Structure formats: C-alpha cells, structure tokens
Amino acid sequence: MKASRKPLRHLSALIDAGLVEAQHSAALTEATQRYAVAITPAMTALIDRGDPADPIARQFVPDPAECQRRPGETADPIGDFAHSPVDGIVHRYPDRVLLKLTHLCAVYCRFCFRREMIGPAARGLDKEGLERAFAYIAAHPEIWEVILTGGDPLILSPRRLKQAVARLAAIPHLAVIRVHTRVPVADPARITPALVRALKAPGKATYVVLHANHPRELTAAARSACARIVDAGIPMLSQSVLLRGVNDDPQTLAALMRAFVACRIKPYYLHHADLAPGTAHLRTTIEEGQDLMRGLHGRVSGLCQPTYVLDIPGGHGKSPIGPTYLVADSPGRYRIEDFNGGIHCYPPTT
C-alpha cells in the first residue's frame, strides 16, 4: 500500500502516530486549537519516539508550554503590520519587499514568528488583493528585490507559482526574486521539475533560501530536492533559527552548516528566536548564541559561517549580533582575538 502523503493536523492524529501520549491530550488541546498543526510524513519519519527531547519533535510537535505567554512576547514580534502598506506586502527596507503569496505551510513550526497570522484559519490574499500587491511593487521603482514568503510559497502549485513569478518578471525595475521555504526538507516530493521551472524568470535572478534547523532534516530525499533546484541554475542559501534543545550545541550547529555546504547551499542567517507568543521554552539567550558562533569561528570552513542576527522588535529590521573580535585601544590601535582565544595587537608592535 502506498504511504499517505497527508500531514498530521489534529491532536488525535498525533496520538495515533505515537507523537504525544493520550494522557497529555487535555494539556495539549489549547495549544493545538490556538496554533496551526501540520507535520508531514517526511518530518514524522525523522522523529525518534523513544527520545522525549528529540530535536525534530521539538520543532513541530505541540507543547503545553506554548500557552504560557511571557512579557515582551507579541503577536507581531518583528513589526510586519507596521510596514505593510497593502495586504500581502511588507516594505521594511528601501530596496526590497516581502510578498506573502499564501498563508499556508507544509509544516507549522512551534517557534514561528508569524504563528498568529498563518494556518488554515488565516485570511490569505484573494485575487484582488494579489493584484494590489503586484501594483504596489510596480509603482515603486526603488524595489530591487522581492522575497516570496507567507506561509510557504512552494506549497503552491507550479501553475500558480509560475503565474506569480511571471507577473514579477514583467516589472522592469525588479532584478531579484528570492523564495523562502521549508518545503525541500518538509515535503521533498513537491520539488518537481515543473515547480523548479516555475521559479525561473527570464532576465531576473532567482534565489531559494532553505529553512532547516537540524542536520537530520537534510535527508537523502531533501538533498535530492535541493540538487534539483541548484542543478537548474538557481543558487541556494540557508536560514536557521537558534533553538534550545534543537541546535544549541557546537557539534550540532557545525554539522548543520557543513551539511548545507555539502548540498551546495551557502549558510546565510542564523536567527535569534523571535519574541513570538508561547516560544520562551525554545529560545536561548543572546550570550549563548554568541558563544556558539565563537565555537564555529576558525573551526569550520568560512563557507560554513552564517551571520547571527536579531530581528529588532517593532519592525526596525535585522542587525548582526555575533561576537566581537576587534577592540579599539586608541586611534589606529586595536586588539584582535584569534580563533584560539589569543589576543594580538594591530598593527603589530615593533
């Protein structure tokens, strides 16, 4: 019998799959009713049911802690609404915009910063709303790059994706189309030749940014899906979220970055987890993130180094928050730290 490709979407399905115990259903009911749930077969197969701290499960299986809201957590932690001139558009930086083509995802991450804006119950763009979004981009010649997000744009059919890309390709001042997605790891079979062809726009540069947080997500099927994209001439970058109990140790983080590079995916961003409601149990401290970045420095290839960033609450954009290796002693004189922790003067003293 052919295995089902349907994701697990309900608490009863999670219990039947052995991902949560029935006696915990009462504690989980509120979390599953408040935030969307979907775990694809590809991700379900990776979960070690014998490990209560399994890093794949922590990303996708609901937790009662999601109902505990901490000070500072907000429904819009990075200020999408404050920079949304029309529905579906976020124009935070002068030369680029986000275009939210869909509110649906293949999987719903428990740490998602848009968790209160996405899912089957969320309101997506209708035909008229999508036209207004395209019109906004066309009317602003300063927009050089459009980032397709959502939701996950690669959950769309090749036909719908091709239509959207064609509309963007017709805008003369637009040079780059960037696609942010989890699909190559969450549902690799969706990355068909037709979908890959739909991503390409004549005269425009297309980039695909893959979201993955643990090296086990890069299965043989996921690697093949990524290869189909890269072999078509579409460069790939990565983005990951630093998560407690998932990738917050030097060995796992290094293995993840090496796995990306081995797949011809350049590590791009390591995000500090946003202040989304009910996600405190998955956030590290910034100091822990800086220590992890120090652990990568000099110990893995420069190709494997992401930029550790914080999306400043309120919509003020991303800023690098990695460790500092250079300190000014006086004008033109510095102390610099090497990857072994040694301190050196620059310029060297004679």
Backbone phi and psi for residue 137, each to the nearest 5 degrees, phi listed first: -60, -45
Q: For residues 11 and 28, is the Cβ–Cβ distance under 8 A? A: yes
Residue 280 CA from chain centroid, whole number: 18
123 is catalytic: no
- Catalytic pick from 9, 34, 69, 96? 96
Cα angle for residues 46, 48, 54 (degrees, 5° grid) = 95
For every residue of 147-182, DSSP letters joined together read: EEESS-GGGS-HHHHHHHHHHHHT-TT--EEEEEES
58 is catalytic: no
- Catalytic pick from 80, 105, 269, 283? 105
311 is catalytic: yes
- Catalytic pick from 9, 93, 294, 325? 93
127 is catalytic: no
- Round to whole Å and give the CA distance between 110 and 102: 19
93 is catalytic: yes
- Catalytic pick from 80, 108, 109, 115? 109
- Round to whole Å and give the CA distance between 239 and 209: 7
- Catalytic pick from 34, 318, 325, 334? 318
9 is catalytic: no
- 334, two tokens: 């510095």
Indicate the angle between helix axes 286-296 and 250-262, nearest 10 degrees: 60
- Catalytic pick from 54, 80, 152, 311? 311
96 is catalytic: yes
Alpha-carbon separation of residue 37 from 33, 127, 299 (angstroms):
9, 26, 37
- Catalytic pick from 58, 92, 216, 223? 92
For residue 126, count CB atoms less than 10 angstroms from its CB and return exposed for 0-12, middle for 13-18, buried for 19 or more: exposed
- Catalytic pick from 274, 283, 304, 308? 274
109 is catalytic: yes
- Catalytic pick from 110, 114, 162, 182? 114
Residues annotated as catalytic are 92-93, 96, 105, 109, 112, 114, 274, 311, 318
